[in-house]
Amino acid sequence: MPERRFTAACVQMRSGRDPGANRDAAVAGIREAAARGADYVQTPEMTSLVERNREPLFEHVTVEERDPTLAALRQAARESGSMIHIGSIAVRSGDKFANRAYLIGADGEILASYDKLHLFDVDLPSGERWRESATYTGGACAVLAATPWAILGLTICYDIRFPALYRALAEAGAEVLTAPACFTRQTGEAHWHVLQRARAIETGAFVISAAQGGVHEDGRETFGHSLIVDPWGRVLADAGGSEPGVILAEIDLAQVADARARIPALQHGRPFTVERIDRQVPAAQ
């Protein structure tokens, strides 16, 4: 039987416009996490570059095979002996980019990749305007990945608002769900913790989410608070703010079976239709 416990780490970052500096920060965080005993280390969404303007992306972003951050973090996996989960990097995809996560084995080999399904297009009350679909292509496939300890479900940031995705991953076998993010401060303050805990409770799975935090060079402000949540919805580790750093927690997969036995909601789902009633009710005389 495979070992059912492992130590997970999140590297919280404040990536800017210099991919080299971001790459160095990610490698340093991975080394720190490994030195503290991490078997699995996750970095945030957009590890290699946080840039809201489309033109500079074309200057810095290349295809997967030539991406220097991917190469450096594969080497970091070999050197550290830890499994590395790159929350995401931007890679060329036709005339746009893919927002792509990578799971890298301790031997440096790419075990799985996932393109972010849901794209964040919104106008915020603060005046911030986001149009991910103008720059990125959305993925079309949910991804499960086997590790020596558990089955991971790979998602990214805005995906966390779509519970059907997480239920589908859990029903397909995921015991650990991941949602590395670059959450805005405003939406993070309102929803980050409750969404992470809700996805864990609904599925009886661990949720591990490394985050970007602080004010970035392109002007955006992200929430931070990288989180590791257990299947009962308890927060095992929280970065506690927006500063870069590393958090760790022990993941005991026996807790997944226990939570799902206590509340077997995954077994109780039933197909249904939606009926809309438009019958007008007469006003009271």
Q: Which residues are catalytic?
A: 45, 116, 157
- Non-local CB neighbours of 188 within 8 Å, separated by 6+ positions: 211, 222, 223, 224, 225
Among 137, 177, 140, 216, which Cα is nearest to 42's?
177
Contact 25, 244 (CB under 8 A): yes
Q: Look at residue 196 and give its three-state secondary structure.
A: helix
**223 φ/ψ angles, rounded to the nearest 5 degrees:** -85, -30
Helix and strand numbers (H, E) in the chain are 8, 17
Among 283, 238, 229, 280, which Cα is nearest to 259's?
229
Residue 194 one-letter amino acid:
V
d(CA 158, CA 108): 28
Contact 120, 158 (CB under 8 A): yes
Q: Look at residue 91 and give its three-state secondary structure.
A: strand
Provide the token pair at 183: 């959450």
d(CA 211, CA 274): 37
Which residues, listed in sequence order, are joined to residue 103 by a DSSP beta bridge? 85, 112
